[in-house]
């Protein structure tokens, strides 16, 4: 799930998943962090979900995927779209 907050000239995007699905650590990786799994690991929130937040330029589109333990890559079913292998988020 994607949450957005509009800022001046930018958009704060929060990538949200259930706390234990899938099990183990999960990171959001994409063109906004040079596909670096260490850049944005999801952290557990108080509402039983886990999330990572990035700030992106407004009116832009970005490719991303999630990377879980065991080299398990997966997409976001609620993303703005897909470009073949990646999920897409539009700001």
C-alpha closest to that of 54 among 36, 69, 72: 36
**Domain holding 21: CATH number?**
2.60.40.10
For residue range 42-87, what is the model confidence (pLDDT) as tens digits? Answer: 999 999 999 999 999 999 999 999 999 999 999 999 999 999 889 9
Q: Which domain holds residue 31?
A: 2-90
Q: What's the rounded mean pLDDT across residues 22-50?
A: 96
Q: Residue 20: is its pLDDT beyond 90? A: no
**Whole-prediction pTM value?**
0.93
pLDDT at 75: 95
The number of distinct structural domains making up the chain is 1
């Amino acid at each position: 799930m994607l949450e957005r907050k509009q800022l001046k000239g930018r958009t704060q995007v929060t990538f949200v998943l259930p706390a234990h699905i899938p099990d183990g650590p999960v990171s959001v990786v994409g063109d906004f962090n040079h596909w670096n799994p260490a850049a944005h690991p999801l952290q557990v929130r108080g509402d039983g979900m886990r999330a990572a937040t990035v700030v992106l330029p407004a009116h832009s589109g970005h490719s991303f995927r999630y990377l879980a333990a065991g080299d398990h890559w997966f997409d976001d079913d609620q993303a703005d779209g897909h470009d073949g292998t990646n999920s897409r988020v539009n700001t």
